Every structure is written in C-alpha cells, then in structure tokens.
Amino acid sequence: MDLRRIMKGGRALSAVAITSGLLFMAAGCGLGGGDKQGEKTPASPAPARSSGSARQESQDPQAAPVLAEVKGENGLTLSVTSAKRDGGGFVTVEGTVTNDTGTLWVAADWRGDEQELARNGGSVAGASLIDQKGKKKYLILRDTSGRCLCTQFTGGVRNGATTQWFAQFPAPPQSTTHLDFEVGAMPPASIDLSEG
C-alpha cells in the first residue's frame, strides 16, 4: 500500500470527525430563545455529570457558597465555589470569574504557555493545583487531541459580567486535602477538597 494514500485517508477522516463535532456544538448552542429586548433568557439546568468534560452552566453563578476568592489583573475577581474529588481519579474545581476591568476580558493569559494548550483559546487551560505540603503541581487534564477538560470563554467576558468556569485535574493522594488553585497572574486561591 502507498503510505501517502493511507496518510491522506487518515487526514480526511480526522477532518470529517472535527467538522461533525463542530456542527453538533453549533446546533446545541443555538437552543436558547429569549432574544426579545428586556426578556431574560431562561437559565440552563444545574451541571450535568456525564463522561468526559461535557458540562452545562448552573442556574445562578452566585448561588454556591464561595470557598476562596482572589482579586487581581486590573479588576478581575476569581471565586472558587467547589473543589471535589471524584470517584474516577480526578478533581473538579468550579467557580466564577467577574470582569470589572472596564473592557472585554478574553482570558488570553489563562490558557497556559505550553504549545499544546494554545489551541484552547481563551480558557482555564493554564490552571494548576499546587500541593505545598507534598511539593507537587497538578496540571489540567486534557483529552487525546490536547483539549483541556475545562471551560473555554468563547467570545470573552463582558465588562461587569460574571460567568462560571470549571477545570479538572488528576486527583492527589487521599491524604492531601488542602491545595492552591493557580491560573494566569491571579494570586493563588487556597481551597480544601471535598469528596464527590
């Protein structure tokens, strides 16, 4: 068999798979309603747990109690509302980010420095969990194509707006219950893990 023909076929299959995924995502994003002026768009249901990182935003970003809150980057506020150890061997950290910078915020420096993470766009891909006591750093989980298991801030966050985010990491040992969440130039947010 000709190696070029095999490579060409593999590329074509990859392109079809990516295009199909994008079409499904676009179709899912189009379901919303509430376009009339002054009418509020109904909120999405609470986060759905499914395989992988597929998530929906909860009804009210301010509803959950705040475990940690840090301010930085010219008016940006990061809140952590949940840090749970899940049964599958990973930790899911969730929270909100409030943009009071006076301009649109696109999370460019939150996506991380690694070349592989650059494809995640404005996201939480550069986040990490730091175990100060055990002297370990846990990087964000990724799928086989290098996409982070985290929120991507598509279109950025408007000034004055608050939006939810999530990020998944490998779970530290059971004895580790206290970690620092770090992302971009934000100060570390100290959090305690709970069992999912």
Instruction: State the virtual CA torsion across 167, 168, 173, 179 in degrees, nearest 10.
Output: 0
Whole-Å CA distances, 9 to 12, 88, 173, 178? 5, 35, 43, 48
For position 73, what pLDDT does the model report? 67
Rounded to whole angstroms, how far apart are CA atoms 46 and 68? 21
For position 55, what pLDDT does the model report? 37
Rounded to whole angstroms, how far apart are CA atoms 131 and 146? 24
Residue 159 belongs to a domain: yes
Cβ of 39: how many Cβ atoms within 10 Å? Answer: 9
Which pTM value belongs to this model? 0.66
Residue 131 belongs to a domain: yes
Residue 143 belongs to a domain: yes
Rounded to whole angstroms, how far apart are CA atoms 187 and 181? 9
Number of domains in the chain: 2
For position 120, what pLDDT does the model report? 77
Residue 49 belongs to a domain: no
Q: Which residues contact 85 (CB under 8 A, 6 or more apart)?
A: 91, 171, 193, 194, 195, 196
Q: Residue 80 pairs with which residues in a beta bridge?
A: 68, 95
Residue 90 belongs to a domain: yes
Residue 39 belongs to a domain: no
Same-domain status, 186 and 100: yes
Give the CATH number for residue 143. Answer: 2.60.40
Per the structure, the complete domain to which residue 189 belongs is given by: 68-195
Q: pLDDT per position in the chain (196 positions), as tens?
A: 454 444 445 554 445 445 445 444 444 444 444 444 444 444 433 343 333 333 333 344 456 689 999 998 689 999 999 999 988 899 999 999 999 999 999 988 888 777 776 677 788 989 999 999 999 999 999 988 888 899 988 889 999 999 999 999 999 999 999 999 999 889 999 999 998 7
Same-domain status, 74 and 148: yes
Whole-Å CA distances, 144 to 16, 115, 116, 117, 141? 17, 15, 11, 12, 10
Q: Which of 105, 100, 93, 106 is nearest to 66 (CA)?
A: 93
Q: Which residues contact 36 (CB under 8 A, 6 or more apart)?
A: none
Same-domain status, 188 and 133: yes
Same-domain status, 18 and 84: no
Which amino acid, one-letter code, is at 28? G
Same-domain status, 27 and 123: no
For position 170, what pLDDT does the model report? 96
H or E element at residue 24: helix 3-29
Same-domain status, 79 and 23: no
Same-domain status, 92 and 180: yes
